[in-house]
């Protein structure tokens, strides 16, 4: 009678748990990180525009405007979305969970 190893010895279980937890965290905090990502992109785009020598003009009312400024990211709509990360982690979770179930059921 052979003794089966504990399920915690399976690497598929751990891959599935970590990727599932990552997907869960992205769903729970996705909105917060999306707006934070937009702000970080806006700062980086402004720094790049200044480094490229963008002209800043002041109109008669004292309002400063930038000539040749790039289109900045809008709040909540970053240029680098989190959706590809969610899809990748979700696929990883499904594949790892399927492999774990297959391993535990004894299907070769």
Query: DSSP string of 37-55?
Result: HHHHHHHHHHHHHHHTT-E
105 confidence band (pLDDT: 50, 70, 90): confident
Query: In Å, how far are 5, 45, 53, 80, 92 from 49, measured between CA atoms?
Result: 59, 6, 7, 18, 38
Phi-psi region of 63 (alpha: psi -120 to 50; beta: other; left: phi over 0): beta
The pTM of this model reads: 0.67
Note the pLDDT of residue 60: 78
Coil, strand or helix at 77: strand
How many other CB atoms are found less than 10 A from the CB of residue 52? 9
Note the pLDDT of residue 101: 93
Per-residue pLDDT at 33 exceeds 90: no
Q: Report domain extents, the chain.
A: 38-103
Q: 35 Cβ partners below 8 Å, 6+ apart?
A: 75, 76
User: Over the stretch 42-93, which tens digit does the pLDDT of each residue have?
Assistant: 787 777 777 777 777 777 777 666 666 666 666 667 777 788 989 999 999 9
Phi–psi pair at 74, nearest 5 degrees: -90, 150
Q: How many residues are listed for the chain in this entry?
A: 108
């Amino acid at each position: 009678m052979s003794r089966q190893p504990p399920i915690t010895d399976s690497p598929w279980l751990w891959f599935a748990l970590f990727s599932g937890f990552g997907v869960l965290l992205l769903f729970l905090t996705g909105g917060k990180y999306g707006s934070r990502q937009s702000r970080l992109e806006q700062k980086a785009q402004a720094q790049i525009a200044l480094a490229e020598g963008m002209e800043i003009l002041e109109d008669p009312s004292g309002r400063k405007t930038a000539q040749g400024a790039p289109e900045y990211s809008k709040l909540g709509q970053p240029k680098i979305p989190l959706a590809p990360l969610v899809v990748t982690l979700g696929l990883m979770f499904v594949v790892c969970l399927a492999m774990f179930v297959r391993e535990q059921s004894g299907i070769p």
